Amino acid sequence: MPLSPDEASRFAVLLESNAESLAARWSELAGAGLRGRLSGAELLRQTRDLRTAFQQALAAGAADVNDEAAAELRAQLSELSSNRARQGFSATETAISVFALKEATLQVLGDADDAATLRDYVAFSAFVDRAALFTFDSYVRVREALISDQAEQLLELSTPVVKLWEGVVAVPLVGTLDSARAQVVMERLLQTLVDTGSPYAIIDITGVPAVDTQVAQHILKTVVAARLMGADCIISGIRPQIAQTIVALGIEFGDIATKASLADALRYVLGKTGKRPVR
């Protein structure tokens, strides 16, 4: 339930009149769960800022964290989530930092045990709960963004194009070949062909769990592009279950040479160039 205007203003007054003791107690409670991974001074600074943001939002009549009046509070909570996510704290630890305000509030309410105070406390708690959930959500969003950034970096790393032999480059594909990755693979391969002047490229799909029409189309396009640059492609690592699936699907690799293993592919290329592998 949103706070009534009276409840909001009483909460604001409570936060203001007990500013220092509240922030101190709050940061103490929040710190307990973080076990010294954040300095006490840093934590106190954060809770002071948050306390101010809570107070200002409530004084401006915020009935809920999602209100216009709570915009600055949301910005602070988002920043908290973002910092904690980057520092490696968990979503729960981050949300608990906000939840701790409830217990701190309870302590400044002291021994008052009348029904009115109790009702207020319940209303304040609900407000804090929503603020903590907001923090939790924004933490998750930040994490997802971090993870997708890392996935992008991994993408770069996970598509190595190696020079296998004089005149032969190979690209071992591992995992899901989505469009983004296929693009990276193709560019890398073509660039390596230019850099090394290799007439042969082996695309090894041993690590690809399923070859569907999209994967096949990416491979076919790469082969055509390599041909335009004067290089011949061989597809290797076609396992039996993949071969049967490709046939049932109706994909044709045309005159592209295909081999069961990378070793077979290399042997095939060396046979064509008249070089023999040194044993």
Ligand X SMILES: Nc1ncnc2c1ncn2[C@@H]1O[C@H](COP(=O)(O)OP(=O)(O)OP(=O)(O)O)[C@@H](O)[C@H]1O
For binding to ligand X (CB under 6 A), which residues are involved?
A: 213-214
As measured in angstroms, the least distance from the Cβ of 221 to ligand X is 12
Residue 232: its H or E element: strand 232-236
Q: Which of 191, 219, 193, 217 is nearest to 205 (CA)?
A: 219
User: Contact between 92 and other proteins (CB under 8 A)?
Assistant: no
CA angle 54, 73, 106 (to 5 degrees): 25
3-state helix, strand, coil in the chain (%, to 5): 65, 10, 25
Binder to other proteins among 149, 152, 156, 178 (CB under 8 A)?
178
| Dist CA 8 CA 80 (whole Å) | 23
Tokens of 19: 């500013």
Q: Choose among other proteins, ligand X, none what residue 36 binds, the Cβ cut-off being 5 to 8 Å by kind.
A: none
User: Contact between 32 and other proteins (CB under 8 A)?
Assistant: no
Report the residue closest to ligand X, judged by CB: 213
As to burial, measured by CB atoms within 10 angstroms (0-12 exposed, 13-18 middle, 19+ buried), residue 116 is: exposed
Query: Are 167 and 199 in contact, with CB atoms under 8 Å apart?
Result: yes
User: Contact between 176 and other proteins (CB under 8 A)?
Assistant: yes
Q: Which of 119, 121, 127 is nearest to 105 (CA)?
A: 121
Q: Measured in Å, how far apart are the chain's first and last C-alpha atoms? A: 78
Q: Choose among other proteins, ligand X, none what residue 126 binds, the Cβ cut-off being 5 to 8 Å by kind.
A: none
As measured in angstroms, the least distance from the Cβ of 47 to other proteins is 37
Choose between 195 and 212: whose C-beta lies nearer to ligand X: 212
Q: Choose among other proteins, ligand X, none what residue 241 binds, the Cβ cut-off being 5 to 8 Å by kind.
A: other proteins
The piece of 47-55, 172-180, 257-265, 271-279 that touches other proteins (CB under 8 A) is 172-180
Binder to other proteins among 251, 256, 260, 270 (CB under 8 A)?
251
As measured in angstroms, the least distance from the Cβ of 220 to ligand X is 11
Choose between 15 and 238: whose C-beta lies nearer to other proteins: 238
How many other C-beta atoms are found inside a 10 Å radius of the C-beta of residue 229? Answer: 12
Residues in the interface with other proteins (CB under 8 A) total 20
Choose between 176 and 213: whose C-beta lies nearer to ligand X: 213
User: Contact between 216 and other proteins (CB under 8 A)?
Assistant: yes
As measured in angstroms, the least distance from the Cβ of 15 to ligand X is 55
Binder to other proteins among 78, 196, 245, 261 (CB under 8 A)?
245
User: Contact between 209 and other proteins (CB under 8 A)?
Assistant: yes
The 3-class secondary structure across 90-153, one letter per residue, is CHHHHHHHHHHHHHHHHHHHCCCCCHHHHHHHHHHHHHHHHHHHHHHHHHHHHHHHHHHHHHHH
User: Contact between 184 and other proteins (CB under 8 A)?
Assistant: no
Interface residues toward other proteins, by CB under 8 A: 176, 178-179, 209-214, 216-217, 240-242, 244-245, 248-251
